[in-house]
Every structure is written in C-alpha cells, then in structure tokens.
Amino acid sequence: MNIEANSIWQPPAQEPDIASDRPGRSDADLAAWRDLTARVMDIARRNGWSKAEAARRIDMPDGTFSQWYGGNYTGRLDTQNLKVARWLESTESAAALAQALPDAPTFVNTRTAQEIFRTLELAQMSPDMVIITLAAGMGKTHTTRHYCATRPHAFRVTMRPQTKTCHAMLVEIARCLAVIETNPAKLDSAIGARLQRNGRQTLLIIDEAQNIEDRAVDQLRYFLDEYGCGIALTGNTSVYGRFKDRQGGPDYAQIKTRTGKRLNRHQPYPEDITALIDAWEIHDAEQRKLLTGIGRKPGHLRQIDKTLRLAFLLAAGERAPLSVKHIAAAYQNREWED
C-alpha cells in the first residue's frame, strides 16, 4: 500500500451541484460520478499515482480533472464521467489481463542461446565476422538483445527492406550509436570512430541481415578491417546461402575468408524446448507433450510463447486452471488453417 498516495487521495470534499438543472447533471450523472471517483481513488492509491499522473493517464487537463474529482466542475458532468469511465474500463481490464498471465520467462539460457552467446563472444573478442542463421522463432533476436543488455560495447541494429542500401544501413547504425553526422560522405568514418576499439572490444550485430545488399555487407567488412569492430550477421537462412553458394566475385572471397564462425540450424535442440516449458513452470505431462510438439513446428519457441499466453487467457476466462484443452484451443486459434 502506498502511504503517500493514500494521503493525496482523499474522497472528494464536496459533491457536484445538480440542483441548478443544467444539462448533463442528472441524478444518474451524480450517481455515476460517485462511483467513478471512488474507483479512481482506489486505482490511483494502489498504483501510487499523483493527481497529475491520473489526469495524464485519463488524458484530461490537470485543472479539469482536479475540478471534476473535487466536485466543483461547472461544465457537463456526463461528458467528463464518460471519459473517466472509458479509461477505467480499459485500465481495469488490462490489469485483469496482466493478472491472468503468469510471469512469462524473460530469458532462458537454452543450448541454442549458449551457442549464440559463444559465437558473439568470438566475434567481439577476436575480432571477427560471424554469421548466425537459425530458423524463425529460434531466438536470434531475443538472444542478441540479451547479449547487448548484459555485455558492454555490443550494439544491435535491425535491418528492414527500407534499410537495404549501404547508406540506409549506415543511417540506421548511426542512430543506434547516437552518431550525428550530416555529411553522407563522412558518415562511415564517424561511425567507425565510434566503433573503434581503442582498447575496448566492440561488437556490431546486424539482425535481419537478409535485408541488406552486398555493398552494405562489404561496408561492414570495412568496419572490421579498419576499426577492429567485431561483426555478427544474424538472420534467416538466405544470409548463409548467400556466402555459402556464391563462388564468384572477389567480395565473396573476402567475406568468406573473414568469417570466423557460422552457426546454422533449422530446428531447435529438444532441450531448448524443454528448457522453455520448464521456465513457464508447466509440470503436467500431457501439457508438456503437446507443447513439445508445438515447439517443433515452424516458429518454434515463438509458437510455445504465444500459444501459452493465449491458453492462460482462455483458462482465466473460464476461471479454471490451465489444461491441455486450453493449450490445444489456443494453438488451433493461432494456426491459420483449420
């Protein structure tokens, strides 16, 4: 219980005047106001919100909120009541939703995650260029994010079709590194200066690397050679095929010979799936079996995560404990085919 919020939030000192017969001030509006102010006080106390914070969340000007709550608002009471009622409804149902979901595991140190970590460490320490290509939902993004959150001097950018060209990629990297350089001709050296090791060991992770063109890959090679920054390309299997299958062109030879390590898998290890199910604290044998099957389908760990979230909500809707039935229904709902 938040003591400070309790003292800020006292019941309104007075009630709105409805005797003057102005529009939007019926008996029903007054009754609604009584109910709403009590609910606002309760939710704000529980969350430790100030009055300004509550007003901001409701999206009502400070002054209007304070008059409405204090019972001395002179405008239409019904309009402000409706605004508060809508906000309360969405806030309360969001809180109920959050309660229905158990704490989802944040990061699980799966075997695949450990392999990704070792590969990234190699790139960062050597320095080297590494390529990590795993099937969708196997944890590339999740694990590389965790790496950057827990290791110094590691940066991660996500490529998209719009950042395909070398310049667009550089702009994206500059944004991530907070490099400000308005002259396009100087952009790569400004980024290079930021990435330069200077005794540090830096790593640049390019996620969704299938979206960048060859010249952009060559630019990354330059960061490795010139500034000693480790480079990790992560993405779908087309990134891997690009260097593996193409024989022609000096660029490919240059990049191939610089690649310190490749990690390429199409399926998670069975123990990855087990570790994630453990982390969700699912102990029932039948539920585990079903989830294991789901984890082998394309989308792998993401399938487990999303299916379980929905399954818990279905169970909460029935006020029942999670069962195989909820998991099956959630999975079926998420599948696009019957």
Ligand X SMILES: Nc1ncnc2c1ncn2[C@@H]1O[C@H](COP(=O)(O)OP(=O)(O)OP(=O)(O)O)[C@@H](O)[C@H]1O
Give residues in contact with ligand X (CB under 6 A).
105, 107-108, 110, 113, 134, 136-143, 236, 276, 301-302, 305
CB of 319 to Mg ion, least distance (A): 36
Cβ partners under 8 Å of residue 142, min gap 6: 107, 113, 301
Instruction: Indicate the residue among 71 and 235 with the shorter CB distance to Mg ion.
Output: 235
Amino acid in the structure at residue 335 = E
Nearer of residues 136 and 253 to Mg ion, judged by Cβ: 136
Q: Which is nearer to ligand X, 31 or 149 (CB)?
A: 149
Cβ at position 107, least distance to ligand X in Å: 5
Taking CA atoms, 285 is separated from 123, 218, 291, 330, in Å, by 40, 50, 10, 18
DSSP letters of 97-122?
Answer: HHHHS----S----HHHHHHHHHHHH
**Residue 159 CB, nearest approach to ligand X (Å):** 11
Residue 108 touches which of ligand X, Mg ion, none (Cβ within 5-8 Å per kind): ligand X
Quick one: 138 or 174, whose CB is closer to ligand X?
Answer: 138
Residue 316 has which token pair? Answer: 């909460």
- Locate 43 and state its tokens: 């939710």
Instruction: Give the number of residues in contact with Mg ion, rule: CB under 5 A.
Output: 2
| Cβ contact 158:212 at 8 Å | no
Helix (H) or strand (E) holding 63: helix 62-70
**Binds Mg ion (CB under 5 A): choice among 2, 64, 141, 292:** 141
Report which residue's Cβ sits closest to Mg ion. 141
Count of C-beta atoms within a 10 Å radius of residue 331:
21
- CA-closest candidate to residue 273, choices 235, 299, 237: 299
Q: Does 237 bind Mg ion (CB under 5 A)?
A: no
Minimum distance of ligand X from residue 149's CB (angstroms): 13
Least distance CB 113 / ligand X (angstroms) = 4
Q: Which does 305 bind (CB under 5 to 8 A by kind): ligand X, Mg ion, none?
A: ligand X
CA gap 146, 5 in Å, rounded: 35
Measured from the CB atom, is 128 or 207 closer to Mg ion? 207
Q: What is the closest distance, in whole angstroms, from the C-beta atom of residue 302 to Mg ion in the complex? A: 9
Give me the least distance between CB of 96 and ligand X, in Å please.
Answer: 22
**CA distances in angstroms from 66 to 53, 207, 269, listed in the order given:** 11, 48, 57
Which lies closer to ligand X via its Cβ, residue 25 or residue 140? Answer: 140
Binding mask 84-123 for Mg ion (x = CB under 5 A): ----------------------------------------
Minimal distance, residue 143 CB to ligand X, in Å: 5
For 337, list phi and psi in degrees, rounded to 5: -110, 155
Of 3, 82, 111, nearest in space to 48 by CA: 3
- Interface mask toward Mg ion for 121-140; x: CB under 5 A: -------------------x
Q: Are 80 and 71 in contact (CB under 8 A)?
A: no
Q: Retrieve residue 222's tokens.
A: 């330059």
Interface ranges with Mg ion (CB under 5 A): 140-141
